Amino acid sequence: MKTTKSNFAAGNKSQPTTQAKPQNFKVLSLIAGLVLALLPVSASAQISFGDATELKGAGYAPRIAVDGDNAVEVFQSESGAGALEYRTGKVGITGGVIAWTAAKKYQTGLAPSVAISGSYVVEVHEDGSGGLWYLTGKVAPTGTISWAEDAIEYTNGYAPSVAASGTQIIEVHQASQSNPSELWYEAGQFNTTGTVTFQGGANYTLGFAPSVALAGATVVEVHQGTSPALWYLLGTIQAGNSLEFGLGFQFDNGYAPTVAIAGPTIMEAHEDGGGGEWYSTGLLQGNGTVAWGTSSEYQAGALPSIAIAGPSVSEIHEGSAQSGTIWSLPGQF
């Protein structure tokens, strides 16, 4: 039986004094129009999950990205810094990823994250010494990714998360390993040469373990605050490739949050600190907040990562903390 817990209502809590002071949110007609025109899922929508499937081989800290029917997963092959591997798959008509390819090494590092736009892929990771690097690639019809020859260092930091929509890329990361840390974003664009142009970023708040999702010009970010509080921020990409975030709000309690967005619909998942994984869905509001439904426990595991493609949800997680097993879980709205 699923259990539920009450979420904080949208907009009823502002960031605590330990969070950096955010800018005032400018509500754009783009968001308001999107919410009014597209209401396919209510804030309290439930997701039907299927059975989890253990993927072959050992792995840690998996991250997943989906665009259309293409899925890419990246993960560590060791519990610490070392080989990074990837798999690709296809999103099935009943949700989740089918036909995963065999895992292949593509780089070395730590804490990878991945985004896909069409057949183009961007991956970010730590180097184990405080540097953050990106690598681009393209998915072939066979499922193999043709990666760029070299990864490129773009800034310093920890725990990166990346999202893409069209040619736009947004990355967020911790400035330090402390909790809380300054959280920074970097905004960039795919180039026709296969590289990424990052146009500078900024500190947007304080927190830990950030995750970001992107749909058009709308950005949603979630992170841990003072444990175990979980916070979200909405942002909008501005002219000149800058990013303006609004006020932050506490929406739940937990650890290691992950977020995905499709139109006005948002899905978030996280650990509860006791071996359980929980999710909640939300809906963008015209006032620059998210109306969240109640959260539900859906699986045992650790370090969840989620992606949405239409009504399908694709989730990846470790079997348990530092277990070395990776599981794929399908779901549908």
- Give, for all 333 residues of the chain, the pLDDT tens digit: 444 454 544 444 444 333 433 333 333 333 333 333 344 444 557 899 999 999 999 999 999 999 999 999 999 999 999 999 999 999 988 778 988 999 999 999 999 999 999 999 999 999 999 999 999 999 999 999 999 999 999 999 999 999 999 999 999 999 999 999 999 999 999 988 878 999 878 999 999 999 999 999 999 999 999 879 999 999 999 877 889 999 999 999 999 999 999 999 999 999 999 999 999 999 999 888 999 999 999 999 999 999 999 899 999 999 988 889 999 999 999
DSSP tag of 34 = H
Planar angle of CA 155, 76, 226, nearest 5 degrees:
60
Task: Give me the count of residues in the chain.
Answer: 333
Q: How crowded is the C-beta side of 65, counted as CA atoms within 13 Å?
A: 28
pLDDT of amino acid 33: 36
Residue 67 bridge partners (DSSP): 70
263-286 burial code (b ≥16 CB/10 A, e <16): bbbbbbbbbbeeebbbbbbbbbbe
pLDDT value at position 9?
46
Its domain, for residue 289, covers 4-332
The pTM assigned to this predicted structure is 0.88
- Name, in order, each residue with C-beta under 8 angstroms of 4's C-beta and a sequence gap of 6 or more: 294, 295, 296, 297
Q: Residue 59 belongs to a domain with what CATH number?
A: 2.120.10.10
Name residues whose C-beta falls within 8 Å of residue 17's C-beta, 6 or more positions apart in sequence.
Answer: none
Specify the number of domains making up the chain. 1
Q: CA 77 to CA 66: how far, in whole Å?
A: 21
C-alpha 309 chain-centroid distance: 14
Q: Which helix (H) or strand (E) holds 115?
A: strand 104-117
Q: What residues form DSSP beta bridges with 312?
A: 309, 332
Contact 272, 256 (CB under 8 A): no
Of 154, 122, 126, 117, give the one whose Cα is nearest residue 135: 122
Q: Cis ω on the peptide bond leading into residue 210 (within 30° of 0)?
A: no
315 within 8 A of 269, measured Cβ to Cβ: yes
What CA–CA distance (Å, rounded) separates 180 from 145? 36
Cα of 325 vs its chain's centroid, Å: 20
Distance CA 54, CA 323 (A): 12
Q: Which among 60, 84, 83, 86 has a CA at the least distance from the CA of 73? A: 86
Tokens 């664009």 belong to 189
- Say how far apart CA 164 and CA 109 lie, in whole Å: 21
What is the DSSP secondary-structure string of 240-268?
TS-EEEEEEEEEEE-EEEEEEEETTEEEE
Helix (H) or strand (E) holding 74: strand 70-76
Residue 209 β-bridge partners: none
Torsion angle of the four alpha carbons 104, 110, 115, 116, in this order, in degrees rounded to the nearest 10: -20
